[in-house]
Amino acid sequence: MGALSPASKVEPNEAVGPDRVFTPESHRAVLDLGRQLVVGNRGMGKSLWTHALTDPTVRNRVADVYGQQQLKKNEVVIGFNGSEKALPVAPTPNGIERALAEGYRAEDIWRAVIFRAVKSVGPSAEPLQFEKTLSRLKQKPEEFEETLSNVDDGFSKTGRGILILFDALDRLPGDWHVIRQLTTALLRRAVGLKSFRSLRMKIFIRPDQFSDKSIFQFPDGSKIQNDHVDLSWQPYELFGLLFFEIMRDASGKSSLSAVAKNVGASDALNQASKPARSSPEDQRDLINAIAGAYMGSDARRGRVYTWVPLHLSDARNACSPRTFLTAWQKAAEHHPAPSDRAVDHLGLIEGVRKASSTRLAELREDYRWIDGALGALAGQFVPIERGDLIEIWDDSQVVQRILKEAKSGGWLAPVQLADNRDANALLDAMNSIAVTEERANGKINVPDIFRVEAGIKRKGGVAVPRRT
């Protein structure tokens, strides 16, 4: 298990083949062509699905797994993924920025993208340059509706379709006011495509952007908002992914299969290819054989099968697959190694600690302001009264420092601070990305996965073991 590689970040334009694609049952709705908005935090699989679906082999496989045969009949193109490389359909952030500077509206930009998308498929595919497409549609705006209607009619006769994917909307150019305009226009276009039978968009968006109500302020905006899909992983799916990744290696497959057979849990490995048939009981038996049943000598410290995902989860009880795999990989590297199993509770404690550190580092890449918000709470106890938290942030001038550093560093402060530059808006931002949670009694909590690394203390409960 020490050779296990955590799921790597998918870069723009990266090829994602079928050997890398695991199919969790809860992602069935993510691939539903009728659901156009998918919300997911960093590392949950937004970019993986965006790029995997462009591979016909992957589409055919997931269509069979999820029983969504229409996926096989769709041409899939990427409409935006934050890439700096000019693509046949997706404009670069710089290309969009130039278009805005030349006076084109956000609506014009996405019309040009969709126009290029429908022109890029089929036997009569016509490659179009982005700037020329903008000018073409400005001079003859009716060509957009005419072209989409003709393509839709043609595709509908054969039962085929076109799916346009949009990802990495935080990489759109400009400040949050500009990104909001572009995002709202994109969502409006997605709703507009509902009037066509064979043209669809799927938009992957971060939870902090989704929590920004202003982007849905247009006719029928509530429809796409209310019909969104949350991209998340259930614990049994994470364990299924763990087995899937181990079995990608020949020696790992042989060893794991032998252990599973010995404890009568072979079905847990069959589920690695069809997780819709998951059996947590078989998984638990196999995990017990690999790592022992308990996080100590008995159940008082917790059971491995429930303890690991719990201590890697954020405020929405969600754990990213990369974080989960990292914990098990680091556990397998722990020394001294146990003599009677692959890992033990000491290795898992260290693995969870290192995975927690890695998870916080990942989130920093998307949310550079996390350190300022959490750093001011070092040494404090949680759960904490909301008023006390706000007072600490105000006294430390956390919001002012975040805004100043964002401006000088060229990165985005929380979208919530675009309108209200106060500590309450910062807390809304922290809640939106599940780094904090507001409990029913009004107190604010920080989950262990972020709390320990940030040096924040905890009131009551069973403490996470400290470094030794």
User: For the segment 432-455, what is each residue's pLDDT rounded down to a tens digit?
Assistant: 999 999 999 999 999 999 998 899
30 and 67 co-located in one domain: yes
- Asked if pLDDT for residue 274 goes beyond 70, the answer is no
Q: Tens of pLDDT along 28-82?
A: 999 999 999 999 999 899 988 998 899 999 999 999 988 899 999 999 999 999 9
Q: Does 269 lie in the same domain as 376?
A: no
Domain shared by 380 and 346, yes or no: no
pLDDT tens column, 138-185:
999 999 999 999 999 999 999 999 999 999 999 999 999 999 999 999
Last residue of some domain: 230, 261, 282? 230
Whether residue 250 sits in one domain with residue 190? no
Q: Could you say which of 339, 365, 391 is where a domain stops?
A: 365
* Same-domain check for residues 99 and 121: yes
Q: Are residues 218 and 309 in the same domain?
A: no
Count how many domains the chain has.
3
Do 274 and 384 belong together in one domain?
A: no
- Choose one of 230, 251, 284: the last residue of a domain: 230
Which DSSP state fits 299?
G
Q: Is residue 228 exposed (0-12), middle (13-18) or buried (19+ Cβ within 10 Å)?
A: middle
Q: What was the pLDDT predicted at 269?
A: 87
Taking alpha carbons only, the member of 202, 199, 205 closest to residue 75 is 199
Q: Find the helix or strand (DSSP H, E) in which 277 lies.
A: none
Query: Does residue 277 carry a pLDDT above 60?
Result: no
Domain check: are 361 and 268 in the same one?
yes
Checking 72-76 for CB contacts under 8 A at 24+ apart, the result is 73/158, 73/159, 73/160, 73/161, 74/33, 74/160, 74/161, 74/162, 74/163, 74/200, 75/121, 75/122, 75/160, 75/161, 75/162, 75/163, 76/162, 76/163, 76/164, 76/165
Q: What is the CATH number of the domain that holds 103?
A: 3.40.50
Confidence (pLDDT) at 239: 94
Q: Encode pLDDT of 307-329 as tens digits.
A: 999 999 999 999 999 999 999 99
Q: Tell me the Cα Rg of the chain.
A: 24
Q: Is residue 296 part of a domain?
A: yes
Determine, yes or no, domain membership for 278.
Answer: yes
The length of the chain, given as a count of residues: 468
User: Of 205, 246, 448, which is closest to residue 328 (Cα–Cα)?
Assistant: 246
Q: 239 and 272 in contact (C-beta within 8 Å)?
A: no
Question: What is the residue range of 354's domain?
Answer: 235-365
